[in-house]
Amino acid sequence: MSNDVPVIPHWIDGQRVESAGNTAPVHNPATGAVQAHVALADEALIQKAIESARAGYEVWSETSMAKRQTAIFTFRELLNERKSELAKIITAEHGKVLSDAMGEILRGQEVVELATGFPHLIKGAFSENASTGIDVYSLKQPIGVAGIISPFNFPAMVPMWFFPIAIAAGNAVIVKPSEKDPSASLWMAELWKEAGLPDGVFTVLNGDKVAVDGLLNSPDVDSISFVGSTPIAQYIYETSAKNGKRVQALGGAKNHMLALPDADLDLVADQAINAGYGAAGERCMAISVVLAVEPVADELIEKIKQRIANLKIGNGAHTPEPDMGPLITDAHRDKVTGYIDIAEQDGATIVVDGRDFTVEGHESGFFVGPTLIDNIPTTSRAYTEEIFGPVLEIVRVQSFEEGVELINSGAFGNGTAIFTNDGGAARRFQHEIQVGMIGINVPIPVPVAYHSFGGWKASLFGDSKAYGVQGFEFFTREKAVTSRWLDPAKHGGINLGFPQND
């Protein structure tokens, strides 16, 4: 480890905590340089973090809803004032352009704003005289310590999908950010401290698989929320469930856009560019396949090519801002270009090739240029697997029905979109498609905060989707109480006689 770069610490019991031992490098993806190291927790530190969170939960769960609401409102205001600071942190460690980092924060802030109204969403219900003189009512209480395991592609938004609701409901949270870009979580921890959150309620535990397994296997962690690849989501789900935890594990995707012949092809091309290459394709809701219903494929490809030629790729922190930044690591860059190799080997046509792409002055950066592939065989691994990079594939289909069948036969069911001017076709699509989130002339149909985010099939494992009403249900447990209080006017005094049925 170099001594001239900082070490990013943990956040435990309301303060930064440094740890000796292993670290991992944190790169600037645009330059390839190591800009920091992040401390990786060992088993002793993991236990310390969990104990702190458990103590924080004991305090916070007994705190009035009014005081909890005040802390969340304060956090919301502080975040709104300083979000540009957080955006710069995200760009420096992830590589996405500043406007995209700001957009990520704003979508996460929607969930914070939803959480400010939490008292209405955790109310119980009351039924008077369910039986004569007997009332039945329900209570919603926090579940305890909530573990949040976050991916690299949205270091602020994804944790915000979970922790505002968990904290509002009275839980303590432990965020395990990606070791590739951990500083956003640390920044938000300090903001919570300023907002008045008691120590221990928000913990940041940096680490690798050791930290993940420590959370999954601890009896003092009551739930796990995860976003990442499908194999890891399945592992998180199975391990957490085996240990008796609640779990919501959101996995990977291979999202398709179905373009019908009546669609506005300029709109389709614009949205394919936005959804395919935004954030360098490192989005679980990115569109990676366009199903072009013939005879539109050739014209659509030409329009997409023209737009790719005008894209500016570079350092996301520079002014004027480029359209697209680098990928997160050199290993991921090589993985993405490897999928382009596979497509070519399987007989696809590489229309625009982003391999061997460099940016002047950033030759060591982790860049892949926007790539467009035509005639991709649906048997190719480059088609069936998630690439998670700026690679857009075209599959030519002959009908609406063929397009729907291709989408429904895939392993994933995260997001999809249809572009058409035919309302009947759109209605049929939303009814027949086996996918959790659907866009109609909208390419990235991420629901607003008061609905819930999550897919079907291999894109979601566990008990519930993220945020919205399902989020509040996930982070609370319900008690049903059956109560009878005798009326002294009817049941006063002592009667030693034999009981009779009147």
- Report the alpha-carbon distance of residue 191 to residue 82 in Å, rounded: 10
- Report the alpha-carbon distance of residue 368 to residue 356 in Å, rounded: 7
Question: Given its phi and psi angles, is residue 414 left (phi above 0), alpha (psi -120 to 50 degrees) or beta?
Answer: alpha
**What letter represents residue 274's amino acid?**
N
- Report the alpha-carbon distance of residue 186 to residue 184 in Å, rounded: 5
Q: DSSP alpha helices (H): ranges in 375-501?
A: 381-384, 400-409, 423-432, 468-474, 488-491
- Report the alpha-carbon distance of residue 494 to residue 382 in Å, rounded: 82
In angstroms, the Cα distances linking 488 to 264, 485, 493, 494 are 75, 9, 9, 12
Q: Is the dihedral of CA 254, 228, 241, 122 positive or negative?
A: negative
- Report the alpha-carbon distance of residue 127 to residue 137 in Å, rounded: 6
411: exposed, middle or buried (Cβ count in 10 Å: 0-12, 13-18, 19+): middle
Q: Is 284 a catalytic residue?
A: yes
Nearest to 75 by CA among 159, 182, 181: 159
Q: Find tokens 């998670």 and name the residue.
A: 388
Catalytic one among 98, 189, 284, 395? 284
Q: Is the dihedral of CA 313, 314, 317, 318 positive or negative?
A: negative
- For 436, residues 6+ apart whose C-beta sits below 8 A from its C-beta are 413, 414, 415, 454, 455, 456, 459, 460, 465
Torsion of CA 304, 306, 310, 316, to 10 degrees: 10
Question: Which sequence positions are flagged as catalytic?
Answer: 284
